[in-house]
């Protein structure tokens, strides 16, 4: 980016395009976002049901391995 000034939107768009290209995701909708996250990171995704009036809490767990 050699001295050029980019807006956050342009940087975000460039990063998203690069990620999609690197991971063969094309330009269409990502139908299985959980699989993309698990395949491209060291994270596992868990989805839990909760009452609609429940506030979300996010916690990061360190793997024992």
Contact 45, 38 (CB under 8 A): yes
Contact 12, 18 (CB under 8 A): no
62 inside domain? no
Range of the domain at 12: 1-50
Chain centroid to Cα 49, Å, comes to 21
Rounded percentage of the chain residues whose pLDDT exceeds 90: 51
60 inside domain? no
CA 42 – CA 60 distance, rounded (Å): 12
Q: Could you give the number of structural domains in the chain? A: 1
CA 3 – CA 21 distance, rounded (Å): 24
State the average pLDDT over residues 19-29.
95
State the average pLDDT over residues 36-49.
89
The pLDDT, as a whole number, for residue 40 is: 93
63 inside domain? no
């Amino acid at each position: 980016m050699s001295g050029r000034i980019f807006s956050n939107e342009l940087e975000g768009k460039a990063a998203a395009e690069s990620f999609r290209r690197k991971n063969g995701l094309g330009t269409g909708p990502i139908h299985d976002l959980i699989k993309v996250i698990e395949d491209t990171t060291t994270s596992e995704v868990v989805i839990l049901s909760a009452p609609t009036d429940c506030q979300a809490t996010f916690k990061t767990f360190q793997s024992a391995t």
